[in-house]
Structure 1
């Protein structure tokens, strides 16, 4: 009875580590796909300079006023487009008149990204680290269990 209970517990632990490894692998595939999408966007996009023309005030969850830059950029034909940064900060990290490189989709110019690592790749780096950690923990446990069992 005690042996069966211990074996069931060991099987549950093994299942947890296997699921951890599988989750890490799926997260890795997702992250690599997202990075590839961003690289494709950068390759096919049109690059130009955008200028901050307005700082929008946004009230944070804690009631503190933050500043969000609003950029304007133009296509080669001179058509203006507005890009509102996703992030707000206090103090303002951008000033009116500041310039930044921006990449936009030539077929849909309103689809744009400021050229910063975080803006372009977003959460890909932390997700990649998490994916590798899950795969190492899950896969490492399963490999060690099988390897050490084969030695006995």
Structure 2
């Protein structure tokens, strides 16, 4: 019975993962590429998170607070990184790296695949593991 729930949950998470992947691809297609420079470091409970000044194509500036923090700091003030932003929504800036662009699609897929394998495996192998009639299982 549980294998059906695993299979259903895995298929739903796979669909959500594909949807998030499509959203990421659409964002990449309509976005502009730009450079951001670390202007300061935020201290978050002893870990340091960089704050970037991201230049837009229209000579504007976006302040981007990076979500990852580390101790010791992984970034130095003045270092540069590549960013993508949607010109229609400049505050949608995202660091151009595989994980930051596809993070939710990756996480949902990482949970969906084992659930689909386990659910489908039990569903497909269930007819093969039936015991012949008259077989007695010894109980201790």
State the SS of the aligned residue for 1:110. Answer: strand
Whether 1:30 and 2:16 are equivalent positions in the alignment is yes
**5+ long unaligned stretches in structure 2:** 134-140
Residues 96-111 of structure 1 aligned to structure 2 (within 5 Å): 96-111=77-92
Name 1:9's counterpart in structure 2: none
Residues 95-134 of structure 1 aligned to structure 2 (within 5 Å): 95-134=76-115
Q: How many Å apart are 1:148 and its aligned residue?
A: 5.1
User: Which structure's residues are more often helix, by fraction?
Assistant: 1
State the SS of the aligned residue for 1:86. Answer: coil
Distance 2:52 2:126 in 1: 55
Bigger CA drift: 105-114 or 115-124?
115-124
The two structures, once aligned, show a CA RMSD in angstroms of: 1.7
CA contact (8 A) 2:86 2:92 kept: yes
Name 2:44's counterpart in structure 1: 58
Q: How many Å apart are 1:42 and its aligned residue?
A: 0.8
Number of residue equivalences: 132
Flag as ranges the 4+ runs of structure 1 deviating above 2 A: 123-127, 146-149
Equivalent position to 1:44, from 13, 27, 30: 30
Whether 1:68 and 2:54 are equivalent positions in the alignment is no
Distance 1:95 1:52 in 2: 7
**TM-score between the two structures when normalised by the length of structure 2:** 0.87
State the SS of the aligned residue for 2:69. Answer: coil
**TM-score between the two structures when normalised by the length of structure 1:** 0.81
